[in-house]
Copies of this chain bind each other. A is one copy, B any other.
C-alpha cells in the first residue's frame, strides 16, 4: 500500500529517491526517536524537536510545542510538517561535489489536533513511552488522571506523506574514478551505553530486561 502522491509531496528534484510506500514510511517513523515538527507562528517558521509515536496511520506528538502553538491546535488544528531523519552512513566520494549521506527521511504534512478522547490519549501516551524504550510503559507507573489532564498530545493523521531514501556507494563522475582518493561509505549507527541508575534508586532494583535489551 502506498500513500497518494500529492502536490506537496512530489519533489521538484531528484525524484528517484522519493517514495510513498506505507510500510517504509512506518518503519522510518518507528525507528526514529525524535522528529522535528515545523509550524508557522506569525507568518514565520518554527521547528522544534518532539517525541513521537505512531499507531496505525496516526502520528502522535508530545513535546514542547510551546503554549502558543498548542493554543492554536486547540482552536481547530495546527498546520504542521513533521520530519524524521535517520542517518545511515557517510558517503565519501572522490570529489567534494558528490559527498552525501545515506539516510531515510519521512515528511508528513497536515493538520495536527489535540487528542481529546481519554482512551486514545492513554493509548498514545503508552505508545510514546514505548517509543522511548519498547516495553517501558509496562515497566513504569501509568499516568493518573491529573497527569493525563496536564499532558497535551497532538495527533497528525498520516495522509500527505513521503519518504526519501539514499543508499549505496558514492556516485563519482567517470573521469574521477582514477583519482587517488579513497571512496566509499562509512556506516553509522546508534548504540546504548551502560544504564546509569538514578541517584535515588532504591537498593535491590536491577536493570530490567527491556532496558538491558534496548538497541537504538
How many interface residues does A have (CB within 8 Å)? 99
Chain multiplicity (copies): 2
Of A19-27, A74-82, A113-121, which binds chain B? A74-82
Residues of B within 8 A of A150 (CB): 97
Please determine whether B193 and A140 come into contact, CB atoms closer than 8 angstroms.
Answer: no
Please determine whether A51 and B143 come into contact, CB atoms closer than 8 angstroms.
Answer: no
Please determine whether A90 and B133 come into contact, CB atoms closer than 8 angstroms.
Answer: yes
A142 and B185 alpha carbons, distance in the complex (Å): 19
Please determine whether B195 and A185 come into contact, CB atoms closer than 8 angstroms.
Answer: yes
Please determine whether A40 and B37 come into contact, CB atoms closer than 8 angstroms.
Answer: no
Residues of B within 8 A of A172 (CB): 198, 200
A36 and B97 alpha carbons, distance in the complex (Å): 21
Given known contacts A183-B201, A197-B184, A99 and B136 CB-to-CB distance under 8 angstroms: yes
Nearest B residue to A193 via CB reads: B187
A202 and B125 alpha carbons, distance in the complex (Å): 53
Residues of B within 8 A of A89 (CB): 193, 196
Given known contacts A188-B192, A196-B187, A101 and B178 CB-to-CB distance under 8 angstroms: no
- Nearest Cβ on chain B to A32's Cβ, whole angstroms: 10
